[in-house]
Structure 1
Amino acid sequence: MRLNNIIYISALVAATLSGCKKESFVEANTDETILAGIKPEEQFLNAGIRAHNSDFEAYYDFYRRIMPWMQQAVFQQGNSKNFLNDVGNFNQRYNVFYPQLGSILTDVQVIIDNMPAEEKAKRVHMRAIPDILKVYYAFYVSDINGSIPYSDAFMARYGGNLTPAFQSQPELFNIWDAKLKEVIGILKTTPSVTQVSLGNNDLYYKGDASKWVKAANALRMKMAFRLMKRDEAKAKAIITEVLADAAQMENNNDSWVMYADVSFNNGGNWDPTGFRAPKPTVDFMWNNSDPRIRMFYQKNNYTQENLNTAKAAGTYPASTTWNPRQYVGAHISPDSALGQYRTWFTTKMVNSSLTLDTISYLQYRMWMPASNNGTGKNFFPIITYADYALMRAEAIARNYVSGNAEEWYNKGVEASIRFYSTAATNAQVTEHTPVTDAEIAAYLNAPDVKFNAAKALEQIAIQSYLNYYKQPNEAWALYKRTGMPNKNTALKNEDIVIDAVVRDIPRRASIAPPLSTDPNYATRKAALDEMAKDPEFGQGPNDVFGRVWWDKR
């Protein structure tokens, strides 16, 4: 899959150029006639691609930052002492949205707006749908940046503001929720003329407006949960309103996921090779016979055959017995990795063709199907049905809405297992066997999984965390929102100990102060100054241990 006909238009052109402005670039970003000949559906295709094709985000933000912080992966030789403070090149999502993705989505709507009335009437749904992806990605950016430009951003090409205002998270959450409600209303209304479908240019739902309504409702609920610590009454009201709508996700076919062929992320920065499985999660999954363990992690190579070879070579005593458990996770804390557990990260060379390695690795093809010459399919989840069901279970457990929390919890767990089983099959995970009904039934009755009303919120958090295997930001947000999982939950994530001190994890992006030469200097500085009034924002804009507004203590 390639990017074709993408036009990048910056709402922050002058700021982006930062003194290296080229006349031709400025012209390309302010002359709307350049868009002539590009169909709105083609530009929406480009938007879907751009939302997921950032290899720097995979390399820096996921593999080397959020996943180690959230104990979803461990560096090959164990986490180093500076792994919490190394944030170089982090926050790639900002660079995706500004100036690129947000502008592409705006183009879709402006192209339609410039059509004759009879053509616009055929594209009412096509014009509304981009707002759902635009709200999601703005929410995703703001999630770790706080105040961002939104309402008057992305319109520079069309005579709009070159220095758009930054809006605070309290404002943005209201704007986004209102916009989603508006779009849902549009998509649920049957237009007077037959609509031109996005079709295959929609990488998520093939232009199916009814599925986009379900996605928008699920997104409203997800955003409402972010408000939980700031305005629980509002969070409850939004969730109650959402769930009163009949348009809800019903199964995995409603999941908001982008699928792509093997060439989409083949090699380079996408490669997850070398990242280890985390001990807390592996132990929990092994002890409870979670079938996703084989979808998430690779077995180590201590097979009976390889152990026999090692014993024959004298690497191990002849009396050594084989341990059938081949899923073994790495300790998280640098003090553990570099101290008493150092031998866990040490491989044993048996001969020139066999080196034994105790600790499991991530299941590479789930992240890059091209790994080891694979030819399978990629998947990029935004909100899955499992995510939706577990959110609904949490809403009930928190007494926000009525219902059966156990029923929705079980639906969420089962949906997650089936989703990942299908994904593993499609990604051609080596030696993967599809999940069976018996495995799911056994897991739902496992000691730490069987629903217990007294531990409902903990169990829901653990299963949500597991379900976010391919969504590190959501696992991070879950922890910031609930504090789980932790060392006291059934899935016992470790305290991160460095030089015998328990350390905090980062909670937001480092935000670079604007240069005085930035044309949008005053607006940017005002936004930072306003966020800094909250003592929880931290010790200046670069303090990744500070918090954005929604992440209140």
Structure 2
Amino acid sequence: MKKIKIMGLIVLLSTSLFSCKKFSELQQNPSAIVNAAPKLVFTGLLLNMSYSPWSADHRNNQYMVLNESYYGNQAYGWTTSDYGNYTQLANVVRLETEAQRVGATAAPYLALAKFFRAYFFVSMTTMFGDIPMSQALQGPTDHNFAPKYDSQHDVYMQCLKLLDDANNDLTPLIAGKAVVEGDFYYNGDLSKWQKLINSFRLRVLISLSKRADDNADLNIRKQFTDIVSNPAKYPLILTNADNFQLVYNSSDVSNRYPLWPSDGIVLYQDLRNTLGATYVDIATKTQDPRLLVIALPTDSAKKSGDAAYATKFTSFKGGKTGDLQTTLKAQAVAGKLSNINFSYWEASPAGIPNILLGAAEVNLSIAEAVNRGWVPGDAAGYYNQGITESCKFYGVTDPAKINTFLTANAYSGNNTAGLTQILQQKYVAFFENSGREAYYNARRTDIPKFDIGPSNANNNLIPTRWAYPTSEYTVNTVNLKAAIQSQFNGADNQNGITWQIK
């Protein structure tokens, strides 16, 4: 009897305690991570910021052509895209929240959060034009789920300031030997992150070359000069040792090299995917030793009977992006188009690292700025260094071969011909790297000239942007239509000319 009374008392107390809990507490998911360590959020951001090589982006960059319609095409028929980067920006807000909760030891994450904000906002404004920024991400705090659109000018101004602030914030942290955890790019080395931030700022500034003379408040030329002329304050990625690149491995499926076959069986010929003529034509004209490493001669050249075919640039051919896929397939079957060199690209399951921003680009961007008269300096020196770092990345390490190439393609000087050389070499250095940067640079400069032909699904035009996400027409109608009207006279399509490139 006494046991029954005790059990009844326990049940009564349990019921009483349970009833005292707030309903909001009962709604919480016991499996949810409420206070995530900053390093976990940071790693998640790193996982979601890269662009895959061997993708449609690089066919649109005209590095490759796809000859089978079942797998896709390079017809430039895109229209709209999405605002997926706002999810990443929400994660940046979470990183800031968790870093502030931890305190002083997490200060490096707050500095890098400024870089991430700039990185993702720049990515979207480069694609679309005007985007929400100043009022974006206010939904959870201010219940503003219909943010206004900031002008592209203002987005870039805010992003450039974020990058400058991030550099300044990192300086004392580096001096104090602070590190970040969860970093599989630079292993927590903040000095390398500082080089990335300043190099990314140069990328942003050079992307605004058409606005350098008519927007005094942006100080594009001065900002570029300040960075290049003060390496102590603004260190840069100038050698491959500091490249911001994703190194793949063979043990983690979440970081597997995209080109490596799932069954591990490497095929040394692929008639569906061949090299693009826009890239190959530049490389053969300049007799670029990188081509001999990354590509294979055509089967026609192999069967020609010429014992030296493998070392002759006439043995390499690319397919024209504008040609019909049936035409390209016929050329590939006939052995008239070059494949990539699978022995190089798939020498191991780890493959070749994917550069997001590297030394070749930075050196060539500085050379471009010198050529344009933005900064004083030796454009030829940066031009040569950019090519050298690119050659080394693609496996051309013999100094004699590099010097022979540089001598044969000596910089023409700070003139139009010299600028063309710089931009073509930047294009070559972007091969299967840096996401859409090759397309963005060609959009800005028209160098190299992208091929257009009967396969083009955009009225014989290379698109200049992406139309806004269709969901915005439902959830943010008024602000979206105002942005479209102010930029494109009400026409939201892939051929609009944004402020950045107008």
TM-score (norm 2): 0.79
Contact 1:260 1:378 in 2 (8 A): yes
Contact 2:136 2:147 in 1 (8 A): yes
Query: Residue 441 of structure 1: CA displacement?
Result: 0.9
Name 2:109's counterpart in structure 1. 126
Q: Deviations over 1:39-82 (max 9, x none)?
A: 10121011101112x77xx6xxx733x43443222122699999
Name 2:66's counterpart in structure 1. 75
Matching of residue 375 in structure 1 with residue 363 in structure 2: no
Query: Residue 124 of structure 1: CA displacement?
Result: 1.6
Where does 1:81-160 land on structure 2 (aligned, <5 Å)?
Answer: 83-87=74-78, 91=81, 94-95=83-84, 97-99=85-87, 101-115=88-102, 120-154=103-137, 156-157=139-140
Query: Residue 265 of structure 1: CA displacement?
Result: 4.0
Give the one of 475, 498, 502 matched to 1:548: 498
Question: Aligned partners of 1:192 and 1:460: how far apart in 2?
Answer: 36
How has the CA–CA distance of structure 1 residues 480 and 515 changed in structure 2, closer, same or farther, with 3 Å as cutoff?
closer
Contact 1:184 1:216 in 2 (8 A): yes
Matching of residue 219 in structure 1 with residue 207 in structure 2: no
Q: Deviations over 1:314-335 (max 9, x none)?
A: xxxxxx9995444221233327
Query: Residue 380 of structure 1: CA displacement?
Result: 2.7
Contact 2:356 2:435 in 1 (8 A): no
Name 1:509's counterpart in structure 2. 466
Contact 2:108 2:180 in 1 (8 A): no
Query: Residue 510 of structure 1: CA displacement?
Result: 2.4
Name 1:525's counterpart in structure 2. 481
Contact 1:78 1:334 in 2 (8 A): no
Name 2:7's counterpart in structure 1. none
Query: Residue 240 of structure 1: CA displacement?
Result: 1.3
Question: Aligned partners of 1:458 and 1:267: how far apart in 2?
Answer: 32
One-letter code aligned to 2:356: I
Contact 1:333 1:496 in 2 (8 A): yes
Name 1:359's counterpart in structure 2. 337
Q: Deviations over 1:382-412 (max 9, x none)?
A: 2211111001111111110100110110001
Question: Aligned partners of 1:71 and 1:110: how far apart in 2?
Answer: 42
Where does 1:269-308 land on structure 2 (aligned, <5 Å)?
Answer: 274-301=272-299
One-letter code aligned to 1:546: G
Q: Deviations over 1:445-474 (max 9, x none)?
A: 12xx21111421010000001011123511
Query: Residue 374 of structure 1: CA displacement?
Result: 4.0
Q: Which moved more, 1:214-223 or 1:155-164?
A: 155-164
SS in 2 for 1:381: strand
One-letter code aligned to 1:346: V
Question: Aligned partners of 2:141 and 2:30: how far apart in 1?
Answer: 6
Name 2:230's counterpart in structure 1. 245
Matching of residue 344 in structure 1 with residue 331 in structure 2: yes
Give the one of 420, 424, 438 matched to 1:475: 438
Query: Residue 439 of structure 1: CA displacement?
Result: 1.2
SS in 2 for 1:74: strand
Question: Aligned partners of 2:318 and 2:367: how far apart in 1?
Answer: 29
Q: Deviations over 1:483-515 (max 9, x none)?
A: 1113xxxxxx5454669x993211111224456
Question: Aligned partners of 2:159 and 2:480: how far apart in 1?
Answer: 21
Matching of residue 331 in structure 1 with residue 320 in structure 2: yes
Name 1:46's counterpart in structure 2. 44
Q: Deviations over 1:125-167 (max 9, x none)?
A: 2221122133112211211111222334345455664333332
One-letter code aligned to 1:451: Y
Give the one of 175, 180, 185 matched to 1:198: 180
Query: Residue 415 of structure 1: CA displacement?
Result: 0.8
One-letter code aligned to 2:75: L
Query: Residue 301 of structure 1: CA displacement?
Result: 4.0
Flag structure 1 segments of 5+ consecutive residues without an equivalent.
1-23, 309-319, 348-356, 422-433, 487-492, 534-538
Give the one of 249, 254, 269 matched to 2:242: 254
Question: Aligned partners of 2:227 and 2:399: how far apart in 1?
Answer: 31
SS in 2 for 1:509: coil
Instruction: Work out the number of aligned pairs and report it.
Output: 453
One-letter code aligned to 2:188: G
Question: Aligned partners of 1:103 and 1:211: how far apart in 2?
Answer: 25
Give the one of 444, 450, 464 matched to 2:410: 450
Contact 2:100 2:106 in 1 (8 A): no
Question: Aligned partners of 1:32 and 1:213: how far apart in 2?
Answer: 39
One-letter code aligned to 2:117: K
How has the CA–CA distance of structure 1 residues 525 and 265 changed in structure 2, closer, same or farther, with 3 Å as cutoff?
farther
SS in 1 for 2:118: helix
Larger radius of gyration: 2
Matching of residue 460 in structure 1 with residue 460 in structure 2: no
Higher relative contact order, chain-length normalized (CA < 8 Å, sep 6+): 2
SS in 1 for 2:354: strand
Contact 2:149 2:483 in 1 (8 A): yes
Contact 1:300 1:327 in 2 (8 A): yes
How has the CA–CA distance of structure 1 residues 452 and 531 changed in structure 2, closer, same or farther, with 3 Å as cutoff?
same
Flag structure 2 segments of 5+ consecutive residues without an equivalent.
1-23, 263-268
Name 1:179's counterpart in structure 2. 162
Contact 1:79 1:334 in 2 (8 A): no
RMSD: 3.7
Query: Residue 110 of structure 1: CA displacement?
Result: 0.7
Question: Aligned partners of 1:104 and 1:548: how far apart in 2?
Answer: 28
Question: Aligned partners of 2:428 and 2:473: how far apart in 1?
Answer: 45
Question: Aligned partners of 2:261 and 2:473: how far apart in 1?
Answer: 36
Matching of residue 63 in structure 1 with residue 63 in structure 2: no
SS in 2 for 1:127: helix
Contact 1:252 1:384 in 2 (8 A): yes
SS in 1 for 2:353: strand
Question: Aligned partners of 1:230 and 1:170: how far apart in 2?
Answer: 9
Contact 1:63 1:73 in 2 (8 A): no
Contact 2:488 2:497 in 1 (8 A): no
Name 1:311's counterpart in structure 2. none
Question: Aligned partners of 1:380 and 1:280: how far apart in 2?
Answer: 21
One-letter code aligned to 2:194: V
TM-score (norm 1): 0.72
Identity of paired residues, percent?
Answer: 19
